[in-house]
């Protein structure tokens, strides 16, 4: 069965309600600097699993899609290398995952901190590493 943008919007609304209903956890400072040279293949693989909800309760794929190419009218493409709210650096992506996007420029719904999941600091960095790698895959291929 094909999911429509409206269905995804309703799912996002439910996620936002769940995220806003529970107490906000204090954001722990990153244990390691958010530098791109700290990214490892294992970190990217773990971030992929979190992004796709296999570990850590990640919900990224619900709005950004299984292929991370976004959902029109809901969430942006994370593979295109186009960044709406910053420079696309690893540190920027870590910060965006941690804090969310309360006032998106091109979608009607806000992204809650950590997509509404309860991620540890190392999980946030892993998801950011995965997204960072996706947005650079075109520039590093042949």
Using one digit for the tens of pLDDT, what is the confidence trace for 41-100?
999 999 999 999 999 999 999 999 999 999 988 899 999 988 888 899 999 999 999 999
- How far apart are the C-alpha atoms of 16 and 19, rounded to whole Å? 5
d(CA 122, CA 67): 23
Does position 139 have pLDDT exceeding 80, yes or no?
no
Number of domains in the chain: 1
Looking at per-residue pLDDT, the higher value among 118 and 138 belongs to: 118
Query: Is 40 within the bounds of a domain?
Result: yes
> Does residue 27 form part of some domain?
no
* CATH, residue 111: 1.10.760.10
- What is the value of pTM for the model shown? 0.74
Residue 29 lies in a domain: no
Cα distance between residue 16 and residue 122, in whole Å: 23
Q: Are 112 and 56 in contact (CB under 8 A)?
A: no
Please give the residue range of the domain that contains residue 51.
5-22+34-140
């Amino acid at each position: 069965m094909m999911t429509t943008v409206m269905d995804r919007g309703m799912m996002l609304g439910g996620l936002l309600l769940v995220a806003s209903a529970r107490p906000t956890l204090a954001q722990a400072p990153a244990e390691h600097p958010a530098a791109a040279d700290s990214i490892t293949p294992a970190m990217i693989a773990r971030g992929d699993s979190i992004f796709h909800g296999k570990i850590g309760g990640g919900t990224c794929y619900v709005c950004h899609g299984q292929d991370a190419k976004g959902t029109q009218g809901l969430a942006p493409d994370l593979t295109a290398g186009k960044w709406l709210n910053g420079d696309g650096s690893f540190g920027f992506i870590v910060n965006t995952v941690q804090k969310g996007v309360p006032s998106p420029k091109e979608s009607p719904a806000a992204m809650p901190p950590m997509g509404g999941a309860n991620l540890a600091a190392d999980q946030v960095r892993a998801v950011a590493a995965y997204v960072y790698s996706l947005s650079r895959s075109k520039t590093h291929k042949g």
